[in-house]
Every structure is written in C-alpha cells, then in structure tokens.
Structure 1
C-alpha cells in the first residue's frame, strides 16, 4: 500500500554486512555501483547506505531481486539505503537465504562499515540490527535520518 512518503511500506528481513565479511573480506567492493564506487553512505537521501540484495544466476548473468538503484528507508535505524551490491555467493546464490527471503519477507543486507572498528565489535553491531524491520521502498526525501556509518554509532536503533 502506498504511504504518505511516496513509496511502498513493507516488512523486510534486515541483516548487515561489514568491511570484514564482505566479498572479498577486508574490502568495500560492490557489484553494482550506482552512487558509490565502494560500499558506504551516511544514510541521508542524498547519500544512502549501500544495500545488497539476493540474486539469481542464470547463464553467467545475475538477475537482482531489486533493481540496482532502488532506494529503501529503514525506519528502525533511520537510514536511507540504495541497492548497489549482491548478497549471496557461489554458483547458485538463488538457493541461499538472501534470495529466498525470510518467512515470506524480502531479505536485504545493509553495509555497516567497520573498516576502522574491531571485527568482533562490528559483528556484534550487525546482530543488533538483524530482524524484521519496517521499510519503505522508493521513499521520498524528508524522513528522519540519523546520519553516519552504522558501525561507528554501534548500530543504533530507534
């Protein structure tokens, strides 16, 4: 159902990925750059955080569950995010949870950063935001934002 912020409100299963568990580990490389050359973003409408989504491989090509450039607003963390990366590795990513979803909900994986944080702290931060979240797909600007890298804030939730 459309909401007053121009998009579609839905529940998603949100997880996080970091500098330390990205592919390849210890990097901020992304597969489908739109705004950023590397995973990042502050979470504002103008600088949304990189988001990875599931995909299906067929004949060497990947079809993403959400098109690159699709924006989300995740209410609980007060961040805008943009699809710029793929979630799920290997020859059959469609067999993994990123594509199949979680209990009927789309699975999205937000970049939490962590390059300047301890790997254990960053992992703990990712667990803090994991779960079903309200999100707006293709939101308008103007929603409340808590800007900054998620890991730097300890993955603050509201």
Structure 2
C-alpha cells in the first residue's frame, strides 16, 4: 500500500514539474530609460530587493515583466530566443492589456539593464532592434535547469556595439528545450 501511494505521488510530482511550451508569445524589451519610473525598480521582490537584473542563468535569471496572473510571481521560464532563463519580477502595462484582450495574447517584456546607467534613446533603439515580430516566439514554463545559456548582456552602454542583436536566436527547435 505504501509503495503504491509513493508511486502515485511520484508520478503526480512528475506531471506537475513537466515543462510546457507557450507558443505565439510576444516579446518586447525594456530597461532603465523606459521603466516606469525610470530606473531598475520592479513590482515584486524575488530576492534582489525590488531591483531588476540577472545574467540569464538558472541561478541568476534575467528579469522579465508581464501581466499579473499570466505567470506566478518570481516564476522562472526559459526563453530560447535569448537563450536565457527569465524570472517574472515586474509589471508591464501593455502585457496586461494584451492578457486581458480577447483572445488573450501572451506577452513578456525582457529587461535589458542597467541598474545604474540610463542608456537613453540608444537603449530604447536597442530594445526595438531586439524585438521580434508579434506572437512569433515560444517560451518554456517549468524548464529544465541545464538548458543552454548566453549570459551576454543584451545592452551595455558605452560598449561597441552597445546592442547585442547578434545574441538573439531566431532559429531554434522548441523540442530541443521542452
């Protein structure tokens, strides 16, 4: 009896932990200059003291914003487009509008940085350059912890180039990730 109960609980645990794909997800990007208010503040504290950040690894996921209810606060997802783990730490007004639309539109807004430097119009242009077509990406919920990661910052003020458009991945097989 105990063995049967253990096996049943173990199989339920595997079902809950299995990754899921969310297709047709709109990706946008935001950072210091277009955060509301400008700066690194986030809506939720997921261990960084209400500050956006991260490198994109599972242990240090990059901040993303979305609509309340679309993801669980502090939930970690995997984004094959950026090859980064992302954590839901902030609110996005357009994401909220899209989530409440009929039909619903999945939308994430990925942090480009920085904690201390306002990249101004150059950073906003970078965010636009990184943004793929609407509803064109697939993300992974409940991802494995060992997926490939590109920890390159998407925007670095003063670097050459400042915008790392060569560090997004437009071609991928989602079956490689989930």
Same fold (TM over 0.5): yes
Picking from 55, 79, 85, the partner of 1:42 is 55
- C-alpha separation between the residues in 1 aligned to 2:151 and 2:129? 18
What is the aligned partner in structure 2 of residue 121 from structure 1?
A: 122
Change (3 A) 1:101 1:111: farther
- C-alpha separation between the residues in 1 aligned to 2:122 and 2:102? 25
Q: Which runs of 5+ in 2 are unaligned?
A: 1-16, 157-162, 170-178
What root-mean-square deviation, in Å, do the aligned CA atoms of Structure 1 and Structure 2 show? 2.6
Picking from 31, 35, 42, the partner of 1:30 is 42
The TM-score normalised by the length of structure 1 is: 0.77
Match status 1:83 vs 2:96: no
- C-alpha separation between the residues in 2 aligned to 1:108 and 1:102? 17
**Count of residues in correspondence between the two structures:** 141
Structure 1 residue 65, shift from structure 2 partner:
2.1
Alignment of 1:79-158 (within 5 A): 79-88=84-93, 94=96, 96-97=97-98, 99-100=99-100, 104-114=104-114, 115-116=116-117, 118-130=119-131, 131=133, 132-152=136-156, 154-155=164-165, 156-158=167-169
Q: Tell which has more relative contact order, 1 or 2 (C-alpha 8 A, sep 6+).
A: 1
Which 4+ stretches in 1 moved above 4 angstroms? 101-104
What is the aligned partner in structure 2 of residue 17 from structure 1?
A: 30
- C-alpha separation between the residues in 1 aligned to 2:66 and 2:142? 15
Q: Which SS does the other structure have where 1:67 is aligned?
A: coil
The TM-score normalised by the length of structure 2 is: 0.69
1:48-87: CA deviation from partner (whole Å, max 9, x where unpaired): 01111113xxxxxxxx321112111110111000011111
1:81-109: CA deviation from partner (whole Å, max 9, x where unpaired): 001111118xxx85x23x33697441111
- C-alpha separation between the residues in 2 aligned to 1:120 and 1:84? 24
Structure 1 residue 150, shift from structure 2 partner:
1.6
Q: Which runs of 5+ in 1 are unaligned?
A: 56-63
- C-alpha separation between the residues in 2 aligned to 1:137 and 1:111? 18
Is the 2:32–2:118 Cα contact (8 Å) retained in structure 1?
no
Is the 1:101–1:107 Cα contact (8 Å) retained in structure 2?
no
